[in-house]
Each structure stands twice: as C-alpha cells, then as structure tokens.
C-alpha cells in the first residue's frame, strides 16, 4: 500500500490542482483534528453543512439507532420509512402552510434539477430565469441556471431557453413574463461571495411571478437551517417561494437534498407520465434520521439566534485596514480583501495557526466564514485574532 497522501493524489479523482489535503482523523463540535494531532478551528463547517457542529451526540445517536433498524430498503416513495415521513412532517411544521410536502433526493444539485422539472410540469412552460453570478450545482440542469460562464463553457450544449437577470436589479423583474416556468435564485447568493438580496427586490419578484403565473424557486441549499440567523433565509424578507430547494445542513452531516412545495403541485409528478422524478437512494433513512435530529437540536439550542449573535461579533472584531468589508447574514459571511493573493495568504496564514477558512468559487478577492452555528464567543475571538495576525 502507498502512504495515504500518495494514494490520495494517485487514485482518488481530484477536483483541482491544489487540494488542502488535510488528513482528518476526528471531528467534534467546531474542531477538526488531523492525523498528526494538530487541531483546527473549523470556519467552513464542511461548506455550510455541519450547522449543529461535528458529530453532535443527538445526531450520532439517531444515526446509530437507524443503522440498527434498516438502511436502504427500496427506491424512494414506495415504502413507509418512518424517518422520511417524520422528517417531512416536521419540515412542514416549521414552514409556511403552502410548503407542506417534501420530496427527498440525494444532493443540492439533484434537488434543483427536480425543482426545474416540477416548475415545468406546473406551468407547462420551458423558460427558466436565473441570476448572474449564481451557483446551483454541477450537473447539467443546475449548471444551465448557474451564472458563471467559466464553469459552463466546456459543457455545452446545456438546457435551452434559460435567461439571466441581475440579482437585486429591480428593473430586470419586468423581463419575467407569461413564458417563464420559473425564476430560480439563491436566497442569499453564496459562491459569488455572499450577496444578500434586498427585501424590495424579492417582493417585486414575488409580485411579478404571481402576475405571470411563474414559479418562484428559492435555492436555500446553503442558506437553510439557521445559517443566516433565521431557520430559512426567506424569513428575513417576508417572501415565500413556490418551491424551496434544500441540501447541505438538511442531513445533519449526512448526504441528502430535498425540494418542498404544496401537496397539490407535488402530486403532478405522480401522473402523465407517472414517476415524474425517481431516485433509488433519495431520502435514505439514515440521513433523514440524522437531519431530523439535527433540526431538533437547531431549534432546542436556538442556533439561528447564536448565528445572529456570533455573526455580529465577527463583524465587530474583523476590523483592519486590509479588510474592505465583512458581508453577509448570520454566520454566512465573506471577508472581502479586494485582492486574490492576499486572500490566499490569509487563508494559508490562518491554517498555520490552526484556523480553517476557505475561499469562494467565484469571488477570489474574499474568503468565507461559515463555522458550525454552535460556535462560541471565545472561538470567534480566537478565529478573528488568527485572521488579524495573518493580515499582519
């Protein structure tokens, strides 16, 4: 056998030329421990996944209990699997009444794919409107509505009849017309460097979609489950989507995605033709059990409130002449240095000090702060001190 780093670079398919390649031995709460024993304060949370912290005891217990009962038993939708049903029911209890029916899939990108299909079924239309600088996933449909040409050009042809509007541009709302099946947007743009929407823009979108019979789809894959300081980001703005797309923290650290709409709309998948969206592993009982336990933890420990408080503390402490702006809501933050090289230096400098930060796909001049929502004041102070030291 090769040594582990060698085997990693040789036999495991790579996504880029310079992976961090930390060899993780253990994770707990807000910390990762590498095999060499070095501990890291985690400001990434598996990319907005581990909202309840790594290995929360209640989540681990739910996983073990479900593993002792059954794992995969049948493709999605045929059997009554208690963790799926109870999770869908619980989601309905924390969402507005028109978002009462959940379809579980495997990932954020699959949830977006299926949301597109549902919008087409509901409206009988094909046109999709999405936003410049958006990110919705890496499969062909999600890539088609992603507003980043660099990620797309090698993959054409993509879906036809997709148009782009500018996030937060009120004038562009008028371009939505009765040919549009859906307008799809991130409730806060994430990978473009954390860009929150204005309430006025979202309200104008809601009004225009109502006028034209267009489905308003919010991708809350990254913003969901307390990340922005509310359970779901749309709650900040008083605008409810027709279809809500979920992923990442939905599974409490296990892989799963979902989209949520009304029972009547979701029922369209069951006829003409039947099996409108199908998946073998979607809604696997272990991620459902883990996700349900994580949601209860989020609510019991009021982690959205902690995200608000700790997010404010980051903004208060991260003051330095090199920091142009700390943007975002709750614990979905971008520290904008206005310079990609500086970002690389600071992320590396933090890592040396045992603090894990991370960059964005489409915003090289800023780095992200998105720790577990369980992070405490001491840890925020430690993280900010590391950033300021790295900045010099």
Task: Supply angle C-alpha 131, 46, 106, rounded to 5.
Answer: 65
* Piece of the chain touching ligand PMP by CB under 6 A; list 88-96, 215-223, 267-275, 281-289: 215-223
Question: Least distance in Å: CB of 267 to ligand PMP?
Answer: 25
Please count the residues of the chain: 392
Q: How far apart are CA 61 and CA 295, in angstroms?
A: 14
3-state secondary structure of 127: strand
The answer, yes or no, to whether the previous bond of 273 is cis (omega within 30 of 0) is yes
Binding of ligand PMP by 247 (CB under 6 A): yes
Distance in Å, CB of 62 to ligand PMP, minimum: 21
How many amino acids of this chain bind ligand PMP (CB under 6 A)?
Answer: 16
Residues 6+ apart with CB under 8 A from 225: 51, 231, 232, 246, 248, 249, 250, 294, 295, 298
Verify binding: residue 221, ligand PMP, rule CB under 6 A: yes
- Integer Cα distance of 199 and 138 in angstroms: 28
Binding to ligand PMP by residue 172, rule CB under 6 A?
Answer: no
Cβ nearer to ligand PMP, comparing 111 with 323? 111
Residue from 56, 121, 125, 136 in contact with ligand PMP (CB under 6 A): 136
Closest residue by Cα to residue 239 from 99, 118, 126 = 99
Residues 30-49 close enough to bind ligand PMP by CB under 6 A: 47
Closer CB to ligand PMP, residue 219 or residue 365? Answer: 219
CB of 264 to ligand PMP, least distance (A): 26
* Contact region with ligand PMP (CB under 6 A), list: 102-110, 159-167, 368-376, 379-387: 102-110
Between strands 358-359 and 366-369, the pairing is: antiparallel
Q: Please, which residue, 159 or 388, has the CB nearer to ligand PMP?
A: 159
140: left (phi over 0), alpha (psi -120 to 50) or beta: alpha
User: What is the smallest separation between the CB atom of 2 and ligand PMP, expressed in angstroms?
Assistant: 29
Torsion sign (Cα): 110, 112, 113, 115? positive
Contacts of ligand PMP in 352-381 (CB under 6 A) = none
d(CA 216, CA 219) in angstroms, rounded, equals 10
Q: How far is the CB of 260 from ligand PMP (least distance, A)?
A: 15
Nearer CB in complex with ligand PMP: 372/386: 372
Q: Considering the complex, state which of residue 47 and residue 278 has its C-beta at the smaller distance from ligand PMP.
A: 47
Q: How far, rounded to the nearest angstrom, does the alpha carbon of residue 92 sit from its chain's CA centroid?
A: 19
Least Cβ distance, residue 380 to ligand PMP (angstroms): 23
**Which regions of 37-137 does DSSP assign to beta strands (E)?**
39-42, 101-105, 127-131
- Name the residue nearer to ligand PMP (CB basis): 130 or 176: 130
48 Ramachandran zone, left/alpha/beta (phi>0; psi -120 to 50): left
Residue with smaller CB distance to ligand PMP, 257 or 330: 257
State the binding string over 253-272 for ligand PMP (x if CB under 6 A, else -). Answer: ----x---------------
Pick the stretch among 219-227, 272-280, 368-376, 384-392 that binds ligand PMP (CB under 6 A): 219-227
Q: Give the chain's end-to-end CA distance (angstroms, integer).
A: 43
Binds ligand PMP (CB under 6 A): choice among 137, 141, 229, 330: 137
- The pairing of strands 243-246 and 257-261 is antiparallel
Scan residues 105-134 and list those touching ligand PMP (CB under 6 A): 107-109, 112
- Chain position whose Cβ is nearest to ligand PMP: 108
Pick from 138, 63, 97: which is nearest to 264 by CA?
97
Q: Are 158 and 143 in contact (CB under 8 A)?
A: yes
Task: Please give the Cα distance from 259 to 84 (Å, whole number).
Answer: 13
Site residues, ligand PMP (CB under 6 A) = 47, 107-109, 112, 135-137, 186, 190-191, 219, 221-222, 247, 257
């Amino acid at each position: 056998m090769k040594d582990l780093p060698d085997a990693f670079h040789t036999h495991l398919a790579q996504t880029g030329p310079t992976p961090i390649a930390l060899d993780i031995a253990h994770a707990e709460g807000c910390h990762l421990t590498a095999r060499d024993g070095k501990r890291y304060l985690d400001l990434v949370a598996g990319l907005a996944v581990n909202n309840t912290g790594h290995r929360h005891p209640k989540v681990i217990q739910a996983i073990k209990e479900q593993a002792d009962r059954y794992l995969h038993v049948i493709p999605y939708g045929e059997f009554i699997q208690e963790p799926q049903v109870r999770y869908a029911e619980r989601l309905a209890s924390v969402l507005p009444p028109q978002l009462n029916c959940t379809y579980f899939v495997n990932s954020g990108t699959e949830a977006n794919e299926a949301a597109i299909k549902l919008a087409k079924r509901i409206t009988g239309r094909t046109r999709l409107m999405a936003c410049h600088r958006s990110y919705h996933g890496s499969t062909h449909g999600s890539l088609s509505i992603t507003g980043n040409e660099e990620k797309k050009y090698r993959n054409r042809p993509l879906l036809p009849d997709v148009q782009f509007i500018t996030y937060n541009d009120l004038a562009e709302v008028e371009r939505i017309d009765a040919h549009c099946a859906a307008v799809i947007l991130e409730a806060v743009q994430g990978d473009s460097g954390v860009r929150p929407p204005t309430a006025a823009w979202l309200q104008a979108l809601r009004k225009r979609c109502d006028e034209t019979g267009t489905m308003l789809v919010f991708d809350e894959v990254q913003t969901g489950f307390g990340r922005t300081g509310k359970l779901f980001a749309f709650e900040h703005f008083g605008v409810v989507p027709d279809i809500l797309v979920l992923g990442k923290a939905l599974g409490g650290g296990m892989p799963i995605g979902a989209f949520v709409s009304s029972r009547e709309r979701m029922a369209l998948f069951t006829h003409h033709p039947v099996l409108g969206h199908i998946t073998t592993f979607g809604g696997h009982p272990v991620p459902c059990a883990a996700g349900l336990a994580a949601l209860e933890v989020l609510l019991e420990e009021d982690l959205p409130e902690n995200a608000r408080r700790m997010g404010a503390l980051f903004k208060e402490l991260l003051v330095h002449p090199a920091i142009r702006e700390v943007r975002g809501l709750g614990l979905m933050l971008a520290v904008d240095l206005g310079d990609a090289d500086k970002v690389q230096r600071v992320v590396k400098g933090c890592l040396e000090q045992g603090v894990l930060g991370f960059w964005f796909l489409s915003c090289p001049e800023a780095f992200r702060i998105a720790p577990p929502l369980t992070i405490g004041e001491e840890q925020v102070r430690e993280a900010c001190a590391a950033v300021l030291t790295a900045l010099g």
